[in-house]
Structure 1
Amino acid sequence: MSLPETMQAAVLGEPGIVRTTTRPVPHVGPEDVLVHVRRASLCGTDLKIRSRHFFPHGGPAVDTFTPGHEYAGVVAAVGSTVDEFRVGDRVVTEAHRGCMRCANCLAGAYTDCLNYGQRHKGHRVQGMTVNGGFAEYALNHVSTLHRLPDSVDFDTAVVLTTLGTVMHAFDVLGSLLVGATVAVIGPGPIGLLATQVAVELGARTVALIGTRDARLEIGKSFGADVVLNSRKGDAVTAVREATRGTGADIVLECSGAPRAVDDALRMAKRSGKVVLVGFFEEPVRADLNHAVMNGISIETVRGEGTGSMARAVSLAARGRLRTAELVTHHFPLRDVAEAFDTYAERRGNAVKVMLDVSEDVKSNP
């Protein structure tokens, strides 16, 4: 395949600004795969990156960094040592590549790499510490790509990165979901996917709590047994009533709302488990004494670790995943600024906002 020398890419400008510009197509190293990006999507972390609050020291220089950690496309070139993929393969990426030399990476916890951000030691996070997928071409380490089955389209593929985070959250529980009662706080993309996965894995009862009725209705269609708008009722009471007063075996906090952590602890049964999945904008106050006195375990996850992307792809390949209801908007790459504003302001009940990087734009609802 003949590659161009330049490409269109979104770059970070001043705080709050993202724009498109012309950049060189990345050079492919021995262990790299160059992906011709077809579809990319925005998530809450991208808003923090746009504002530059994500970066501890202000971040990269203006107009030099390309965000985007949720994307899929077609292999355009492979490095000299790569035989796992061929040009033309359809692939989806996972964001994290650990250094694969620290104790955490060697134990499989590559999203908690001890050399985070140190590219010279091999660590990368697409769109966070290295250039990402809001561009016509993106460079990935071969270990961060997964081949897509023909039955999985690019919209679904991009959602799988989010699903990987959900699978990681269930991984840390160390127990099967079959027969468990599960409460999910926050009907954003992660929470809605968590609802689906809990149902697919055999949870006995799934409760979904949020503040937006339209999203709660999506969760109900995904199989949630109980949905509650927490602005209209007490979420803790609703979960306890749904579990005959005992509380949920498992609570996933996916909203990032500071008060939701305390709610999660009070929804959990004695010896229950709470998994914190959402990122918080401010310090959280919660009654940890309640957790200690009731033997409630608290786990956290970041990203799609523990090989969870492969399981996400498998779930989609078997037709066990619904994504059409989540994908609400499409924009061409040149309109990346409008896409960000649409997502940030939740225009038109935006849930998943897609960039059609190398294909014609679809109609927005």
Structure 2
Amino acid sequence: MSEFPKTMKAVVMHAPEDYRLEDIAVPVPGADELLMKVEAVGVCASDLKCYHGASKFWGDENRDRWVEPGITPGHEFVGEIVAGSPEALELHGVQVGDRIACEQIVPCGECMYCQRGWYWMCGPHDMFGFKHYNGAMAEYMIVPPLARAHKVGKSVPAHHAAFAEPLSCSLHAVERAQLTFDDVVVVAGSGPIGLGAIIGAVHKNPKMVIALDFDDHKLELAKKCGADLTLNPSKVDVYEEIRNLTGGYGADVYIECTGHPSAVGQGLNLLRKLGRYVEYSVFKENTSVDWSIISDDKELDVLGAHLGPHCWPAAIKMIESGSLPLDDICTHQFGLGEVQEALDKVGDSAGASVKVSIVPGR
């Protein structure tokens, strides 16, 4: 470790709304660990919820607040492997100098979910930047042996490469929808997850992909991501528009990526009978709908989606292809010392940001 500095800058969580940039020791990798030099880390809406204290949003005082004192946040990251034992390098199939991104979850490998192959639903559910494992809002971080690492080409700008995590999540939501060539697909929300869902849906080649958002700028970006039609619910009657397009029946698939309670009822009403509803969002407050729409009225398939299992290779391939409008998606980059500005930018719904990132070397 003599070739590395002894200390580094890192964001450390102390309590809700108490995140501090500190000088801490550069971590020393164990025999089965790797040391990564962080190149970029995206700031997720869940990072903002964590910052404010998740209990404010869940309405359940028994749930964890996510902020684990002493942990460094950041789960959407990419970086260069700078140290590791031969055993650790072999375990992950990498070499010193390789660039990798890691899945957000660090599965235990032992619980029922892991044993059955459902690692993304791991019982302990330890995650980078939230629980147990330090995240990437630091100059260096440890890649533990149970991490799921994926190589990323070095020709991709770092803040673009870090988009692999949200894109893989979006692709998983699309996979859950089981799209067919005849489907009319509605994606609610054109933020980072919604745009990724549009990209994923377009790659499945359904009959039509329709994007909904209240922000015309984001709808223009949805078009760049391949949406066939964009609709602003504040300007048009989306129910009438979509029924007219579908012979009065409604959409085949609705993928909810806004996290706003009103989007849930909207989706149930937009779908045809026997349609498919996919929910990806994490909500700030309890959401209530008329469940008879799901059962007696339409017999809908309602599916959840969590993380991005098995979708990372596809997400990375799309990013490496250079075909995605990532300069338009990855709108703002900040240094480590600007973490508050980055969080504020994510929380500014009236701002022009889409994907906000922190670049430690900036």
Q: If the length of structure 1 is used for normalisation, what is the TM-score?
A: 0.89
- Within the candidate set 68, 73, 80, 1:67 is matched to 73
Partner residue in 2 for 1:271: 274
Partner residue in 1 for 2:203: 200
What's the offset of the Cα at 1:53? 1.6
Give me the whole-angstrom Cα distance separating, in 2, the residues matched to 1:188 and 1:22.
33
What's the offset of the Cα at 1:80? 5.0
Task: Say if 2:356 is the partner of 1:353.
Answer: yes
Partner residue in 2 for 1:56: 63
Are the aligned partners of 1:148 and 1:313 in contact in 2 as well (CA < 8 Å)? yes
What's the offset of the Cα at 1:314? 2.0
Give me the whole-angstrom Cα distance separating, in 2, the residues matched to 1:177 and 1:136.
44
Task: Say if 2:256 is the partner of 1:253.
Answer: yes
What's the offset of the Cα at 1:176? 4.2
Give me the whole-angstrom Cα distance separating, in 1, the residues matched to 2:67 and 2:248.
51
Give me the whole-angstrom Cα distance separating, in 2, the residues matched to 1:52 and 1:170.
29
Are the aligned partners of 1:226 and 1:242 in contact in 2 as well (CA < 8 Å)? no
Are the aligned partners of 1:17 and 1:337 in contact in 2 as well (CA < 8 Å)? no
Give me the whole-angstrom Cα distance separating, in 2, the residues matched to 1:346 and 1:279.
16
Partner residue in 1 for 2:104: 95
Q: From the superposition, tell whether residues 184 and 25 of structure 1 become closer, same or farther in structure 2 (CA, over 3 Å).
A: same
Match of 1:349, SS state, is coil
Deviates more, 1:50-59 or 1:106-115: 50-59
- Within the candidate set 148, 152, 155, 2:152 is matched to 148
1:292-307 mapped onto 2 (5 Å cutoff): 292-293=295-296, 294-305=298-309, 307=310
Give me the whole-angstrom Cα distance separating, in 2, the residues matched to 1:140 and 1:267.
44
- Which amino acid in the other structure matches residue 17 of structure 1? D
Match of 1:338, SS state, is helix
Give me the whole-angstrom Cα distance separating, in 1, the residues matched to 2:304 and 2:54.
21
Give me the whole-angstrom Cα distance separating, in 2, the residues matched to 1:248 and 1:263.
12
What's the offset of the Cα at 1:22? 1.0
Task: Say if 2:161 is the partner of 1:157.
Answer: yes
Q: How many residues align?
A: 349
Q: How big is each residue's C-alpha offset from its partner over 1:71-122, in whole Å with a ceiling of 9 and x where there is no partner? A: 1110112245221111110111211121111221122222211222xxxxxx
- Which amino acid in the other structure matches residue 105 of structure 1? C
Give me the whole-angstrom Cα distance separating, in 2, the residues matched to 1:60 and 1:40.
18
Are the aligned partners of 2:159 and 2:359 in contact in 1 as well (CA < 8 Å)? no
Task: Say if 2:243 is the partner of 1:240.
Answer: yes
Partner residue in 2 for 1:363: none
Partner residue in 1 for 2:127: 125
Moved over 4 A (4+): 57-62
Structure 2 residue ranges without an equivalent (≥5): 56-61
Task: Say if 2:212 is the partner of 1:209.
Answer: yes
Give me the whole-angstrom Cα distance separating, in 2, the residues matched to 1:31 and 1:168.
30
Give me the whole-angstrom Cα distance separating, in 1, the residues matched to 2:195 and 2:348.
19
Q: From the superposition, tell whether residues 61 and 247 of structure 1 become closer, same or farther in structure 2 (CA, over 3 Å).
A: closer
Q: How big is each residue's C-alpha offset from its partner over 1:177-204, in whole Å with a ceiling of 9 and x where there is no partner? A: 4342110001111101111221122121
Q: From the superposition, tell whether residues 214 and 102 of structure 1 become closer, same or farther in structure 2 (CA, over 3 Å).
A: same
What's the offset of the Cα at 1:149? 2.2
- Which amino acid in the other structure matches residue 15 of structure 1? P
Give me the whole-angstrom Cα distance separating, in 2, the residues matched to 1:339 and 1:59.
19
What's the offset of the Cα at 1:342? 1.8
What's the offset of the Cα at 1:346? 4.3
Give me the whole-angstrom Cα distance separating, in 1, the residues matched to 2:24 and 2:66.
19
- Within the candidate set 72, 77, 80, 2:83 is matched to 77
Partner residue in 1 for 2:12: 11
What's the offset of the Cα at 1:20? 0.8
Partner residue in 1 for 2:59: none
Q: If the length of structure 2 is used for normalisation, what is the TM-score?
A: 0.90
Give me the whole-angstrom Cα distance separating, in 2, the residues matched to 1:182 and 1:59.
34
- Within the candidate set 329, 333, 344, 2:332 is matched to 329
What's the offset of the Cα at 1:262? 1.2
Give me the whole-angstrom Cα distance separating, in 2, the residues matched to 1:213 and 1:264.
20
Give me the whole-angstrom Cα distance separating, in 1, the residues matched to 2:23 and 2:265.
47
Q: How big is each residue's C-alpha offset from its partner over 1:311-339, in whole Å with a ceiling of 9 and x where there is no partner? A: 21122233343311111111111111111
Partner residue in 1 for 2:119: 110
Q: From the superposition, tell whether residues 240 and 91 of structure 1 become closer, same or farther in structure 2 (CA, over 3 Å).
A: same
Q: How big is each residue's C-alpha offset from its partner over 1:123-142, in whole Å with a ceiling of 9 and x where there is no partner? A: x3111112101011122235
What's the offset of the Cα at 1:347? 6.5
What's the offset of the Cα at 1:57? 4.5
Q: How big is each residue's C-alpha offset from its partner over 1:3-47, in whole Å with a ceiling of 9 and x where there is no partner? A: 222210012244223231111222323332221001111110000
Match of 1:49, SS state, is helix
Match of 2:142, SS state, is strand
- Within the candidate set 184, 187, 200, 2:187 is matched to 184
Match of 2:95, SS state, is coil
Are the aligned partners of 2:187 and 2:198 in contact in 1 as well (CA < 8 Å)? yes
Match of 1:325, SS state, is helix
